[in-house]
Amino acid sequence: MYRVYAVFIGILISIMLTFNGVLDGYLGNYLSVLLIHLCGLITVTIILISKRQKIVLNRQVPFYLYSGGAIGVLLVLVNNICFSSLGVALTSSLGVFGQLMLSCVIDHFGIIGMDVYKFEKKKLIGFTIILAGIIVMTIY
């Protein structure tokens, strides 16, 4: 079931990239990023209220782990910048390739306390196929 959810994530990302990129065309980089995240804040606030869930911050959580929000802002900003020149498919493909590369590094070394999943050379076959596909998408 989680694999189906993961595919759904990809579908949502494509929709989000498209909406965000088009909004960026109307409003510009920074205002669109601000409004996108404001909309996200309102949405999660409504969800928390409807579930009657209280916000409780754990003081033992390292502060740097909260930086995901700032990374999210940069992600949306750079996606919006790339969208107008590359389109949704190439922006997404290159983004996924970047995710794969860093994910393999994080898995291999167990960065930030993650479980270690050593890199196996057979994964290079998949990387090569994906990279070949991206090259073809870039050329044509």
pTM reported for the whole predicted model: 0.81
Q: What is the pLDDT of residues 4-29, one digit of tens each?
A: 999 999 999 999 999 999 999 999 99
| Strand boundaries in the chain, DSSP class E | none
| Strand boundaries in 19-138, DSSP class E | none
Cα three-residue angle 62-78-80, rounded to 5 degrees? 130
* Confidence bin at 130 (pLDDT 50/70/90): very high
Q: What is the pLDDT of residues 53-64, one digit of tens each?
A: 988 888 899 888
Q: Where are the domains of the chain?
A: 2-139
